[in-house]
Chains A and B, each alone.
Chain A
C-alpha cells in the first residue's frame, strides 16, 4: 500500500482498468482456448453417442475422474468463501485487492463443477428427471441444490461490489465496443457514487458474506457425503465433511496464488498485488495445509492402526500396494514438502510460492482421485467372472479430454471475466487509501 499512497485517483483508475480491453494477445488466447474446447467437445459428443462405455469405467469402478474432478472443482470454489467472507468479515485488510480474484475463481469453478457432474451421467438427456422426480433424501439432490445456491450467491458476491467499478468502466475504459459500454451502463444500475449507495452496497455485501459461509460449507460437506453416506469401507467415514472442507482451502488458496501471480505479471498490477500479499497468502496456505495434514492423519492413521477386515485390503493397497506410489507422491510431494518449504520466508516470494502452489494444486487433483477411485477396487465381495480390466481403472483418452475440457472452460470463464471487469476492486482500494491518509 505504501507505493500506492503517492498515486492520484485518476492514475489508480487507469492502472486498474488497463487490462479491461480486448487486446490482440487476449483474443489469441481466447481463440486458442475455444479451439481446445472444441476438440474436447468432440469427445463429449462421442460419449453421448456411444455411451459411457467410451470411458475406462466399469461395473466395479463406476466413478472415475469425472467424479474426482467434480470434487476438485467444488473444493477449489470454496476459496471465495474463505477469502472474501471469513477473512473479510474478520476485518482483515490485506485481502481487499485479491478478494475479487477469489470470487472470480469461485464462480468459475462452481459453475463448471455443475457441468462436470453432467458429463458423468449415463443419461444426460434425463437431467430434468431430477426436477420431476427428485427425492429429498438423496444426497445428490442436496448437492445440486447447494451447488446452484452457491453459484448464485457467489455471482451476487462478485457482482455487488463490482457495481461502483462498472460505473467507472463505463466512463473510463477505452478501446471497447459500444455495446460493451452499454452493458456496463445497464449493470451499474444508475450508480452515482453517493455515500448512501456505498452504505447500501456494504450492507448487502455483508449479508451475502454471512449467507455464503454455511452454503459453502454445505456444498463441500454434501459432496463428501456422496461417499461418506455409503457403506463402502474407506468411504464410510464420519470425518469426511471437515476432511474435505480443510482440503478445499488448500486447493483454493493455491489456485488464488497462481491467479494472483498471473494477474500481477500480465495486467501490470505490481503495486496492487504486492510481495506482501504473496507472503500473507503463503502463510495462509501454511495454516490451511496444517489443518489438512491433521485431518489426513486422522483419516488414514486411525483405520490403519485397526486394520478392520473391510478396510485392510484397501489401506494396504494404498500405503504399500497398487496405488502407493501416487499416494506417497501426493501426501509428501503435494502436501508435506510444500508445507515445510512455505515455512521459509524466501519461499513465500511471488515466484517460489507460485511454483509451490502449482505443485500443491496438482497434488490436490490426484488426492481427489485417491479418495474416489482406489476404494472401489476393493469391494466387500470379490470381483469375478468379468474381464481382467475390470479389476483396475484406467481413464481413456476420451475421459481425459473431457476432463481437460472442463479445465479449459474454467480458464475461459476466468479469462472473460477478467477481461470484462477490473480484477482489483477500484473503489475499495481508494477507500482503503483514504482511511490510511
Chain B
C-alpha cells in the first residue's frame, strides 16, 4: 500500500506531541474534539496531556492538528494487520458450565453491529448420540493456526496475525465468499444486504480490530475482540458470560483468565486436567479454541 509521507510524518509528530503511542489513538479523536470546542480562547491556550510514562505535560493547543481521516485509517489498518508481538491468544470453553444464557451472543452482536441472524459466536445445541448427551456449545471462530479461510482468500483480505488472531479487512474483501466455503466450522457470516444501522455508522472510520462499521457485500467473523485484547481487556463474549464458561489468555504466558470469576489459571494444567479437546482435529486446522467436555469424566 502507498503511504502518503506527509500525512504519515504529521501523524507521527502529532502522536509524539501527545505522548501517545499505540494505545492512545482511539481516544485521540476525543481529545481533539475537546480542543476544537474552544478554538477562540486566544492563541496562547494550552492543554494538559498525560504521557505514556505518567508525566503530566502541557502543550500548546495551537500545535495540535487533527489526524487526517486517511492517516487514522492507515494507522488502524496497519495496527490491525500486524497484531500484538509475542502473544498467542487462546480461548478455553468449559461446556459443562454453559447454560445457554446467550449473553455472549448478545454482547458480541452489539459490539460488532450484527443482525440477529449473523453470528460471530453461536451457541449450538449439540446431541452426542453415542453417550446420550445433550449440551450447549458456544462456537466462535476457532482462529486456526492452519486456517483454510486464509489460504483461499484471493486478496489477503482475511489473514492470520502474529498473535494468532484471524481477522477480516472489510475494506479489501471482494465478497467472493470462498472463505465461507472453506471454513469447516461455519464461523463466517456475510453482509448480504445493507448492514445493521448502516446509515448511523456511515461516517465512522473503519476499525479493523472491531470490524466495524460492517460493509455490505463483505465477509465478517469473530475477531477474538482484538480491539479489547489490545487494551488488556477480555473479549466481549468472555466478559459477558454469567456462568464462567470462558477462559481467555495468552498461550505464551500459559495463563488464561475466566471471564466471570476473573480467576487466572495455568492453561496447560486446565487443558490437561479437564481432558480438553479441539473441534475436528482430524482436519488439521489446529484451532486456538479449546473445549472442556460437557460432563466431567467420571462425574
Contacts and interface: CB of A to CB of B under 8 A. Distances in A.
B178 A380 contact: no
24 contacts: A50-B193, A57-B192, A58-B192, A59-B189, A120-B176, A122-B177, A122-B216, A122-B218, A123-B175, A123-B218, A130-B154, A130-B174, A135-B155, A135-B156, A138-B151, A138-B154, A229-B152, A229-B182, A231-B148, A379-B186, A381-B186, A382-B125, A385-B119, A385-B123
A172 to B, nearest CB: 48
Contacts of A227: 181
B174 A62 contact: no
A123 B188 contact: no
Nearest to A376: B181
Contacts of A140: 152, 154, 176, 178
Given A52-B192, A62-B181, A133-B156, A122 B285 contact: no
B175 A52 contact: yes
A141 interface: yes
B175 A133 contact: no
A125 to B, nearest CB: 9
A390 interface: yes
B174 A129 contact: yes
A232 B181 contact: yes
A383 B180 CA distance: 14
A386 B118 CA distance: 8
Interface string A31-57: 000000000000000000011110101
A231 B124 CA distance: 21
Contacts of A141: 154
B156 A52 contact: no
B75 interface: no
A101 B148 CA distance: 41
B258 interface: no
Nearest to A58: B192
Given A231-B184, A382-B124, A385-B122, A130 B155 contact: yes
Q: Is the interface of B mostly helix, strand, loop or mixed?
A: loop
Contacts of B57: none
Contact of A59 (B118, B174, B176, B178): B118
B154 A230 contact: no
Interface residues of A, number: 46
Interface in B111-146: 117-119, 122-126, 139
B173 interface: yes
Contacts of A381: 124, 139, 185-186, 279
Interface in B195-222: 216-219
A388 B150 CA distance: 29
B85 to A, nearest CB: 23
B155 A53 contact: no
Given A63-B177, A123-B175, A135-B154, 13 more contacts: A59-B186, A123-B217, A126-B172, A134-B155, A138-B155, A138-B178, A141-B154, A229-B182, A231-B148, A231-B182, A380-B186, A384-B125, A385-B122
Contacts of B190: 52, 59, 62, 122
B233 interface: no
B124 A59 contact: no
B280 interface: yes
Interface string B276-291: 0001100101000000
B155 A133 contact: yes
Interface in B217-242: 217-219
A381 to B, nearest CB: 5
Interface string A347-373: 000000000000000000000000000
A138 B159 CA distance: 12
B67 interface: no
Q: Is the interface of A mostly helix, strand, loop or mixed?
A: loop
A177 interface: no
B153 interface: yes
A123 B283 contact: no
A430 B172 CA distance: 56
Contacts of A175: none
A235 B119 CA distance: 25
A226 interface: yes
Contacts of B152: 138-140, 229-230
A127 interface: yes
Contact of B217 (A59, A122, A380): A122
Contacts of B151: 137-138, 229
A60 interface: yes
A195 interface: no
A31 B153 CA distance: 41
Interface string A110-131: 0000000000111100110110
B285 A231 contact: yes
A387 interface: yes
A127 B174 contact: yes
B283 A126 contact: no
A387 B172 CA distance: 29
A50 to B, nearest CB: 6
A121 B280 contact: no
